[in-house]
Amino acid sequence: MVNEGDYIAVFNSIHRVMKAEQFLKERRLPILLIPAPRVVSSDCGLAIRYGEEARSAVEESLALADLAPEMVYLRRGSDYLLCRGVELS
């Protein structure tokens, strides 16, 4: 479900992740709402997946809409590398 090089945006509530999904889909950005991987902490159990080609557009759009994720992870091999936390949003 999560491929090498994909980004995973994790939110702190189901309300925020659903609002973010709707916002991004309205802008026709290539994202997918997925169950959050077990190794990635998520209070709501869902996350938004997107690729490198959409990263700037997705993250800038979320920041402008005041919907920045709590954490963003990058899939590398079997690991999820933390790219950004809430303090950098």
Structure tokens at 46: 């869902």
Segment 4-41, tens digit of pLDDT? 999 999 998 999 999 999 999 999 999 999 999 888 87
* pLDDT tens profile 64-87: 999 999 999 999 999 999 997 544
Are the beta carbons of 31 and 8 closer than 8 angstroms? no
Length of the chain: 89
Answer whether 46's CB lies under 8 Å from 14's CB: yes
pLDDT confidence of residue 65: 95
Residue with tokens 């991987």: 37
pLDDT of residue 13: 92
Residue ranges covered by each domain of the chain: 7-88
pTM of the model: 0.89
For residue 35, list its beta bridge partners: 46
Question: Among 88, 87, 72, 77, which residue's Cα sits nearest to residue 36?
Answer: 72
Q: What is the pLDDT of residue 85?
A: 53
Q: Supply the pLDDT for residue 42.
A: 61
The rounded Cα 76 to chain-centroid distance in angstroms is 15
